[in-house]
Structure 1
Amino acid sequence: MAFELTEDLIEQIENLIEVGDNQSILNLLEDVHHADIAEILDEVTTEEATYLVKLLDSEKTSEALMELDEDYREEILDNLSPQEIADELNELDTDDAVDFLSELDEEIQRQVIDAIEDEDHARDIVEMLRYDDNSAGGLMAKELVRVRETWTVAGCVRKMRAQAQNVTRVHSVYVVDRTDRLIGRLSLKDLLTADAKSKISDIYIPNVDSVNVHDTAEDVARLMQKYDLEAVPVVNDSGILLGRITVDDILDFIRDEADEDYRMAAGLSQGVEADDTVWELTRARLPWLVLGLVGSLGAVNIMKSFEGALSVHPELFFFTPLVAAVAGNVGVQSSAIIVQGLANDNVTGSMWLRLLKEISIGLINGLALGILVVSFGVIFGFGWLLSSTVAVAMLSVIIVAALVGTFVPILLDWRGIDPAIATGPFITTSNDIFGILIYFSLAKLILGF
């Protein structure tokens, strides 16, 4: 039967915590999955969540804590002693343990590491803390199954059993030489069907995709996506096998990157949630709103310089929002396609050919929209000349906005800057300014004021 989180269940747990009936809590949550435990922890207070974490078995609560929001998890960890945190880390793979530990102060980190019973586990965690979070080393876990090419099939099976006790899920079996250099992978089918006295060197597959420990997370994601890999081994510059990255780790990274890009495109300067404080939400939004205000004031100043034109042709004012909106929309469309292409590594070929392509698209879209604008202008009595002026200006604005939306993300990517920052308010504001300037400049040229 599927687990259902209800108000009655939460109230029951809260009442049991209040009276200290630990045995009833243990009986109630005995068969509940760790993901469901995480939902419960998310619904109760921090103090009640801490109570449950201390009471329940670390094998279950460690996985549940990994499901929580980082800020909330940190609040709970602040209420645990170094030994209690170490008990949680003992149950986690090294990559998850490092995520846990990196949220703590350095002094607490040292105390927790000293309290970890498994010295090898503690040593692996310390090693991984040296790597950048967005590198292959920062994503990898040390737990894996490795076999030597010199082992027999029978000996290999025995040693694999011992290694598999420390691995949550065996995705692949990697083959190394005497120096632990990665040389291939082992098919379980070949292992099970081979003669017990055969050597691993006779049955392993020498072709294996791997990543360097210093490769970026983006590179790892692209490799795993391209070859549909469930796991990929991580090696150092000498080819020594260090760990492995699984698909769930990459999915977490991709989700975080997508969230970050969405926030940037929406004009948020940092990660925020709907239930954050008013100050946190204001601080995340205000910088981009200031940017938009500066851009709008620039547009106002441009319009002011054409004040005389508005007195002669006041109808121009009515079309100003239209031109600004088209400029912003086209720019966001172009930049969104380029940012997505850069993220998927499929923006290739000549820069000039790409810009020429955007000009062609702009011409087609501009002509189509221009015909609609002229038709609208004639029907509603704005006249051929004024309507045509607006249409020509809009065509020009569309082309310029498309070029800006294409060129800026590519330029930022060349400079090693996340191109996502070029989307949203930045592109919209810059194209609004260009749109207004082009609109009134062409109107002055055509209408002759």
Structure 2
Amino acid sequence: MATTLLRAEKVVTLDAQDTIYQPGYLVVEDDRIVELGPQSTPGNRRFDREVDLGPRLIMPGLVNAHTHSPMVLFRGHAEGHSLFTFEGWYNTIRVVEEVLDPDMLPPAVAVSCAEMIRTGTTCFADQYFWMDKIVPEVRKSGLRAALAYGVVEMGDEAARERELAAAAAFLESLAGDSRLIGWVGPHAFFVDNSEEAMALEVELADRFQTGLHIHLATDGSEDRYCQEKYGQTAIQQLKEMGILDHPILAAHCITVPEEDFPTLAEHPFTVVVASSSAMKNAAGAAPLKAMIEAGVNAALGTDNVTNNNSYDMFKEMQITGKLMSLRERTPNAVPTRHILEMATMGGARALGLEDEIGSLEAGKKADLISLDLTEIGWPPVGGQDVYTALVYAVSGMHVRDVMVDGRWLLRDGRWTTIDYAQARADLERVHAELEKRLAE
């Protein structure tokens, strides 16, 4: 077993006790943290490797709980359009996807993984199709991921059978994988996934003991449909169908009625707030403060970079904090510590990984990042507390090192698992081909 000693000026654990070591150390044995503490060196011992990070802050890696990694290929294609309505999504994105070649996806996924690593994400929840083109790139990157096979069937029986068969084959292919988890990804309940499909998707999730990654309540379509057909809200209908008994990762939740918050809190349900995407699409702000107060688990995501343009989760934390204060007309409406919780343990909890990642503790996976304390944004040290600095003053470009499973993915700002220059060149090439197809 290989042991590595990491030392740094500050170690922010984000554990239940909010432990901060200054200076601090961690001992990593293979893929796990086995020890951490408040001094520079843990006694008179030998390690296989000793790494002194100096004036850097070590913290848990960030969890991007909702994105679509291939869609970096569409960055810039939806400017001025809202993707938060069915018509906007279909006419802007779906029509582009119809001319895609699956072989265009690998360089897009590689670039997305590189951007996530560079800005401090160590685990992400993805939703898309053609997973056979996505999985190899994510594996090569070294990132941890919950990959959901995206299902769009629009009530068509042939499409339903085809997509669910592909989803089942994908889930089977990830059995036993130590870093990649398979999920089922109905794109949007009641919108482009019929009740027949929903029932089969739940059966699939049961069969593979996994969850459902969905979009929910971006413009109220689900509630309008369910009120007209069933005489109740979409959440109450999902409860009646038994779907809420399964782990659900629900992106956006902007228009969920407040009366449904207690129901969500009683079930394994996570709201994933993607504030940059919601703002850019003029969709409004999710009622995050009220959801948290009701006991709903909350996580943070960037959404795709067609909507957002950036994978930087530090930016996402900052924007979320400011947007929620604006929405509530209350400064610090969602405290900085809770925003950090959303970006770490909230996402881990949503994916069923709270015992493995989300905080720095002995026994957990060695998924961590370091930030440069000599960069702009930190001083004066005695002024802002460290949580405020992490949420409002720094960005992903402060990240210098990234480790997943005890393996460096970024070291001193350089990727170790991805040839970014090559991935970017390949992305430019396939994007030019996509533009050519769209012009025909």
Could you say which TM-score interval applies, normalised by the shorter chain? Answer: under 0.3
Which structure has the highest helix share of the two? 1
Tell which has more relative contact order, 1 or 2 (C-alpha 8 A, sep 6+): 2
- TM-score, with length taken from structure 1: 0.25
- TM-score, with length taken from structure 2: 0.25
Larger Rg: 1
Which structure has the highest strand share of the two? 2
